[in-house]
């Protein structure tokens, strides 16, 4: 496993509460099974953009969203060293739909 992935996993494990999540789900527009569309908002500059390829599982919420870069300012939770919020999923982990 590359060193950057190891550091990312350690960071995620260390920070289980989120105070400074940078790209966040502002509004869930639609969801079908685990696929969702959401309005995302950057907490650095307030820019909003649609995410049409969301997936409602632990990996997506803990790894993908914190690495999302804002289309306007280019920042992400990881790039600014922010803490990662543990967001609940609609379905329990491991539940097959």
Residue 68 lies in a domain: yes
Residue matched to tokens 């997936």: 55
Residue 64 lies in a domain: yes
Residue 5 lies in a domain: no
Sign of the Cα pseudo-torsion (50, 52, 57, 63, in order): negative
Residue 96 lies in a domain: no
Residue 35 lies in a domain: yes
The confidence score (pLDDT) of residue 9 equals 54
Residue 14 lies in a domain: no
Residue 2 lies in a domain: no
Report the chain (97 residues): mean pLDDT per 10 consecutive residues: 55 41 85 96 92 95 93 89 82 85
Residue matched to tokens 């908002």: 41
Range of the domain at 85: 19-90
- Provide the number of structural domains found in the chain: 1
């Amino acid at each position: 496993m590359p060193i950057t992935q190891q550091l990312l996993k350690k960071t995620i494990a260390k920070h289980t509460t989120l105070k400074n999540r940078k790209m966040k789900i502002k509004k869930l527009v639609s969801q079908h099974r685990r696929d969702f569309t959401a309005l995302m908002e950057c907490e650095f500059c307030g820019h909003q953009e649609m995410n049409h390829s969301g997936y409602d599982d632990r990996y997506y919420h803990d790894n993908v969203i914190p690495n999302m870069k804002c289309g306007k300012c280019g920042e992400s939770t990881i790039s600014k060293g922010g803490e990662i919020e543990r967001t609940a999923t609609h379905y329990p982990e491991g539940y097959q739909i």
